[in-house]
Amino acid sequence: MSIATPKGVFDVLPGTSDLWKDPTLWQYLEKICREVSHLYGFLEVRTPAFERTELFQRSVGEETDIVGKEMYTFVDKGGRSLSLRPEGTAPVIRALLSSGIRDGELYKYYYLGPMFRYERQQAGRYRQHHQFGAEVIGDSSPERDAELIDLLMSLFRRLGLRNLNLMINSIGDRESRDKYRKALCEFLRTKLSVLSEDSQRRFETNPLRILDSKDPADQEALVGAPSILDFLSSACSTHFSAVQQALRSLDLEFTLNPRLVRGLDYYTRTVFEITAGELGAQNSLGGGGRYDDLIQQLGGPALPALGFGAGLERILQTMIGQGVSLPSAPHPRLLIVPMGDAARERCFLLLKQLRNQGIAAEIELQDRKLKSALRRADSRGIPFVTIIGDDELQKGTCDLKEMATHTAQSVRLEEVANHV
């Protein structure tokens, strides 16, 4: 009996029927993520796949769905509570704090890797998903907010994506939010009974999260609700205006969405999200914002910071949905088909010599019929094939068949490398 794949995970495997699970696409996307990051002055960070549970409780927040319902938490053999990382921001800050963070320094880091959330199974939602994320630590300038958003938008542009919606909002500082929370609760108090069950619970624990509920009853109840933008302190308001100005000067179109609050507790001031119509209900390609209080909350100095995370699965699915041009899999330049034992030995050596010269080559060792070897070369997109038997060994030459033109030319064995 074969063992089933766990729910909510997938394999990245050559030749899969789901195009977005093709390893060539993953490598291509990761390469472009790295290139764009380097262009914007970000360096790579790799943190462990698991952390102390407390890290996420104290950053993402115990009342959030991510920590409250979706974390893969376990007790290890030493009795410690550990969790598979559900996101990448808290680990990056933890890493920086453990290596010694310096006030006055600017840190720009990016990461690529798996995140784990026990989510309800749904298109575009996985229990292991992969993020490209970037974090900037030590700068409160509004231009940094714009630079970070620009990085993500320029990644999407390089990948050929179109028709994306960049939404931005400011959720202010703690005081702005406290005032707004009170006003929102007052507004919703009389409508409590019509809110969805989730939102009724959130009314007690995290009322701002009601704002981005997709439930139609909640949406209806929110008509005429106060806007957070009217509750921002003047410093937060000035910051947000400057972010918008900087985005405009970078020619980045955006929509103001005062309902955008995001599902993690650490945010302050600017928050943003980029959506794509192709993705259906789970339409967020990426999102992030400022988290100016988090570093202090985790025991570090009071340093401002901001970042984003973007889902690689959703980016790939959108690329395919929008029909952007995709890279093809790497393949050998030449397939060598030996005929007979002597040729086999010489061909094996030839193969090694070609590879030493940096030429990707493959050998047919299964004594297949010539026809099936040619078919294999064709299906793998191998442009050249050569069949080498006793005759060829004696003459020291071989016929190099070019698959595309169905032509062949005779070349000396030691010169094959120059012709493929």
Find the shortest distance in angstroms from Cβ 319 to ligand HAM.
13
Which token pair is 326? Answer: 């995709």
Q: Which is nearer to ligand HAM, 263 or 321 (CB)?
A: 263
> Which helix (H) or strand (E) element contains residue 276?
strand 268-276
CA 64, chain centre distance (Å): 21
Please say whether the beta carbons of 316 and 129 come within 8 A: no
Contacting range for ligand HAM; rule: CB under 6 A; set: 17-25, 178-186, 219-227, 282-290: 282-290
Q: Binding of ligand HAM at residue 172 (CB under 6 A)?
A: no
The closest alpha carbon to 397, from 371, 368, 419, belongs to 419
Phi, psi of 82 (to 5 degrees): -120, 155
Q: Which is nearer to ligand HAM, 87 or 392 (CB)?
A: 87
Q: Binding of ligand HAM at residue 313 (CB under 6 A)?
A: yes
Which residue type is seen at 369? K
Options 25, 29, 83, 88; binder of ligand HAM; rule CB under 6 A: 88
State the angle between helix axes of 312-321 and 23-39 in degrees (0 to 180), rounded to the nearest 10: 110
Q: Which is nearer to ligand HAM, 58 or 117 (CB)?
A: 117
Which token pair is 286? Answer: 């990426």
Contacting range for ligand HAM; rule: CB under 6 A; set: 127-135, 213-221, 322-330, 354-362: 127-135
Q: Binding of ligand HAM at residue 131 (CB under 6 A)?
A: yes
Q: Binding of ligand HAM at residue 91 (CB under 6 A)?
A: no
Which residue type is seen at 272? F
Find the shortest distance in angstroms from Cβ 118 to ligand HAM.
9
Options 47, 169, 284, 397; binder of ligand HAM; rule CB under 6 A: 284
Options 142, 207, 288, 304; binder of ligand HAM; rule CB under 6 A: 288
Q: Binding of ligand HAM at residue 265 (CB under 6 A)?
A: no
Contacting range for ligand HAM; rule: CB under 6 A; set: 163-171, 283-291, 369-377, 380-388: 283-291
Q: Binding of ligand HAM at residue 209 (CB under 6 A)?
A: no
Strand 361-363 with 334-338, pairing: parallel
Options 119, 147, 150, 218; binder of ligand HAM; rule CB under 6 A: 119
Find the shortest distance in angstroms from Cβ 285 to ligand HAM.
5
State the angle between helix axes of 23-39 and 142-158 in degrees (0 to 180), rounded to the nearest 10: 150
For residue 217, the 8-state DSSP code is H
Please say whether the beta carbons of 403 and 380 come within 8 A: no
Which residue type is seen at 52? R
Options 126, 240, 254, 272; binder of ligand HAM; rule CB under 6 A: 126
Q: Binding of ligand HAM at residue 259 (CB under 6 A)?
A: no
Which residue type is seen at 348? F
Q: Which is nearer to ligand HAM, 67 or 264 (CB)?
A: 264
Contacting range for ligand HAM; rule: CB under 6 A; set: 130-138, 230-238, 244-252, 407-415: 130-138
Options 125, 181, 191, 333; binder of ligand HAM; rule CB under 6 A: 125
d(CA 110, CA 391): 57
Q: How many CA atoms lie within 13 A of 164 on its CB side?
A: 29
Please say whether the beta carbons of 137 and 101 come within 8 A: yes
Distances, alpha carbon 106 to alpha carbons 21, 93, 103, 122, 342, in Å: 36, 13, 8, 39, 64
Q: Binding of ligand HAM at residue 87 (CB under 6 A)?
A: yes
Q: Binding of ligand HAM at residue 148 (CB under 6 A)?
A: no
| List of residues 6+ apart from 144 with CB closer than 8 A | 136, 306
Contacting range for ligand HAM; rule: CB under 6 A; set: 84-92, 208-216, 243-251, 341-349: 84-92
Find the shortest distance in angstroms from Cβ 268 to ligand HAM.
11
Options 311, 337, 364, 374; binder of ligand HAM; rule CB under 6 A: 311
d(CA 222, CA 217): 9
d(CA 303, CA 294): 8
Q: Binding of ligand HAM at residue 51 (CB under 6 A)?
A: no
**Chain residues that interact with ligand HAM, rule: CB under 6 A:** 87-89, 117, 119, 124-126, 129, 131, 133, 135, 263-264, 284-289, 307-311, 313-314
